[in-house]
Amino acid sequence: MLGMSLSLRRYISTRLMRAVIGSGLIAGAGIITTGTILMNRIIDTATETAFQEVENRLVILDRMLYRAEMDAVASGHAAIERLVERYPAMADAKAAGPGSLRDSADELGISEIYFIDASGVIEATSFAPDLGLNLFSLGPEFKGFLRRIRGSGRFADQRLSMSSLTSQANSYQYYGPEGADYLIEVSTRLDVAVPRSFPGLGFPELIRLLLNQGGGSTKPFVRATDFIWGNDPPYRSFIDQRPVDDDLTRLISSAAAGETVSSTAGPTRTLVRSLSLARSDFDYMDKGMYAVLVVDRSPARDFVVVSAAVSLALIGLAIAASYLWAKGSFDRHVTCRLEELESAMNKIGSGDADARLHDGEDGEDDEIASIGRSAEGMVEQIRERNAELSSFARKLEEEVSEGVRREKALEDILEANQALVHEMDHRVKNNLQFAMSLASIQARMVESEVARLALERMRSRLSVISMVQDYALKDPDRPRVRMEGFLSDVCADIAGSFNRQISRIRRRIDAGDVEMDAPAAIAIGLIVAELIDNAYRHAFADVGAGVLSIVMRHGDVGAAGGLSITVEDDGNGEPREGGVGLELAGALAAQLGGGLSWESSGGTRVTLTIPPAA
C-alpha cells in the first residue's frame, strides 16, 4: 500500500505539474505576443505621427527659408543691376576674368557670378570650375526657363537648389538684358543668406533645429535625421551638404514616385518619403525633396525580453503554489486514508484479529471506502500472498524510479551537449567576424599596397568560411550548403572590393541544385574566391564592360560522375598564375582530389574538376 500511495502521489503530481506548466507557457506566450503586437502598433503610429510632424516642420522651414531667400533675391537683383552697369557686354565680363568677377561678387555681397551665352554655356564666371558648363544639359524644363528669360529685360528667381559640384544650397537670380543674347546669373549660398536674416543661426543649424536634433540622451522611437535634395542621383544632404551614401541613394530613387520606402538593419529601420517646398513667388523651382526618418525598434525587443522574464517568473510562482495546494489536498483526502488502510492491513498481517479495514468513521463513501469494505472479504487470501506481492511491488517501483532517473540524466546530458554545440557555433561565427573586422581595419591603415592587398584577401577568405557556417547552420539537423546561393554571396563579396568595376561587370552564377558538406564548400569557396579576385584584378582591369560566369555541375567528370566548376571571363587580361592565392587554389584542388585547368581564348576559363568519391 505504501508503494501504491507513493506511485499515485507521483502520478497526480506529475500530471498536475504538466498541466500548470503548459497553461503557464501558453499564457506567457500570449502576453509576449500581445505586447509585441501592441509595441509594433505604437511604433507604427509614432512613425506616421513623426512624418506628419516632419511635414509640419517643413512648412516652418519653408517660411523661414522663404524669408532668407527673399532677402537674397533683393540683394541679388541689386547686384545684377550693378553688374549690368559694370559689364555692359559679355565680352567685358570675359575680359575681366574669374579673379575680377570674384572681387565683384565679394563687393556686392553675393556668392558667385555667371554670364551665360545663348546656347546655355557659361562663358564667364567667378567660380572657375563651372566655366564652360552647359546649363541646358540640366534638363528640358530648366532649358526652357532660361530661354524665356534671355532678351526679356526682366528678372527671374529660382528657389532653393544645390550646386552639383560643391553640394552647397544656394538661391539663384537671373536677368536677361533686353534684346541681348546672353543671361546674367548670380547665386547666394544659404549658409551666407540665413545668418543675415536670422543672426547667429547658420543654415545647417536651422535644419537641425527644425528636425529637433537637440542631442538629448533619450532618443524617441522615431526621429527625423535629414532633408535630402535632388532630381536624380547623386542626392545631397541639406545638413552635411554632400552626397549621401549608396544605400540611402537606392532608397531615395525608390521614393521618387511619391511612396514611402524603407530598409531595415537590426532593430533600426530607415524610411524615406518624398516632400516638397511651396513655389511661392519664385519663377522656377527644382523638384526632389525627401525626408529621412529612423525608427528604433530596440524598445520593442527589450519589452519582449522583460515580459518574457516576468512571465517565466510568474509561471514559476504559479506552479509552486498550485503544486503545494494540490499536494496538501491530495495528502488529506487520499494519502492519509491510504495510510490508515495500510496500517490496518499491517495489523491484520501481524495477527491482530480485531483490526478493521473500514469502520465508516471517516464519513467518506468513495472508492477508497469501497476498497476497504471489499478487502475485508479477502483478508485471508491477502495474508497468504502479501509477502510475495509486497516484494514484487517494491522491486517494480525501484526499477521504475531507476528508469526515470536514467532518462532524466540522459536528457540533461543531451541538453547540455546541444547547448555546448550551439555556443561553439556562435563563438566561431563571432571570432570570424572579429577577425574579418580586424583585417578590414588594418587594410585601411597600412600604407604598403602589398600588405593592404594581403589583408583584403585574408578578409575575403575568412568571409568565405563565415558564409559556409551561416549556410550550414540554417538547418543544424542537415548541415549542407546550397552552392548556388553560396557562390553568389562569395562573388558579390569579392566584387564589392572593386567599386570602380562592379557596375561594369555582369555576373552569372549557375550551380543548379548542387549541395555540399561544409568542409568541401569551404575549399570550393576559397578556390572560386581566388579565381574571381584574379579575374577582377587582371582580366577586367582595363575593359569597359564584361561578363563573369560561374557554372557548377554534377556528373561532368568521367563516366562515373564527379563535379566540375568553371570560372570564365571575357576580359582581355592574361591569366596570372604563380601568385599565393592561385597556389592556395591549386593546393585546395589537390586536397579535394581534383585539379585546375586553364584556357585563354578571347578571355580566360579556369575549370576545377573533382572526381567522385571512392
Q: Are 125 and 112 in contact (CB under 8 A)?
A: yes
Nearest to 483 by CA among 552, 547, 429: 552
Q: What is the pLDDT of residue 614?
A: 42
Of 41, 38, 19, 25, nearest in space to 308 by CA: 25
pLDDT at 559: 39
Domains of the chain: 1-377 (no CATH), 465-610 (3.30.565.10)
Distances (CA, A) of 121 to 98, 135, 273: 15, 6, 35
In what order do the strands lie in the sheet containing 261-265?
236-237, 222-229, 289-296, 268-275, 261-265
Q: Of all helices (H) and strands (E), which one includes residue 179?
A: none
One-letter-per-residue 3-state SS of 88-110: CCHHHHHHHHHHHHHHHHHHHCC
CA 280, CA 69: separation in Å to the nearest integer?
11
Residue keyed to cell 596570372: 576
Q: How much is the pLDDT for 558?
A: 46
All residue ranges of the chain with pLDDT < 50 are 1, 557-560, 614
Residues 300 and 310: beta-carbon distance below 8 Å: no
- Alpha-carbon radius of gyration of the chain: 41
Largest CA distance in the chain: 141
Instruction: For residues 185 and 175, give the distance between their C-alpha atoms in angstroms, rounded to a whole number.
Output: 7
Residue-wise burial string across 497-525, b where 16 or more C-beta atoms lie within 10 A, e elsewhere = bbeebeeebebebebeebebebebbbbbb
Q: What is the pLDDT of residues 556-604, one digit of tens each?
A: 544 346 888 999 988 876 655 556 777 888 888 888 888 888 888 778 8
Q: Which pLDDT belongs to residue 513?
A: 86
Instruction: Report the DSSP pairing between strands 112-116 and 183-189.
Output: antiparallel
In this structure, are strands 122-125 and 155-162 parallel, antiparallel, or unpaired? Answer: unpaired
Per-residue confidence (pLDDT) for residue 106, from 0 to 100: 92
- What does 297-355 look like in DSSP terms, one character per residue? -HHHHHHHHHHHHHHHHHHHHHHHHHHHHHHHHHIIIIIHHHHHHHHHHHHHHTT-TT-
pLDDT score for 599: 86
Could you report the per-residue pLDDT of 193-248, keeping only the tens digit for each?
888 888 888 777 777 777 776 655 566 667 777 778 777 788 888 777 788 888 88
pLDDT of residue 433: 67
Reported in sequence order, the residue ranges of 196-267 that DSSP labels E, i.e. its strands, are 222-229, 236-237, 261-265
d(CA 174, CA 165): 20
In order, the DSSP letters of 568-607 are EE--SPPP--SSHHHHHHHHHHHHTT-EEEEEESSSEEEE
Supply the pLDDT for residue 3.
Answer: 53
Torsion sign over Cα 374, 376, 381, 385: positive
Contact 57, 154 (CB under 8 A): no
Cα-flanking dihedrals φ and ψ of residue 133, to 5°?
-70, 135
- Cα 68 to Cα 614: distance, rounded to the nearest angstrom: 81
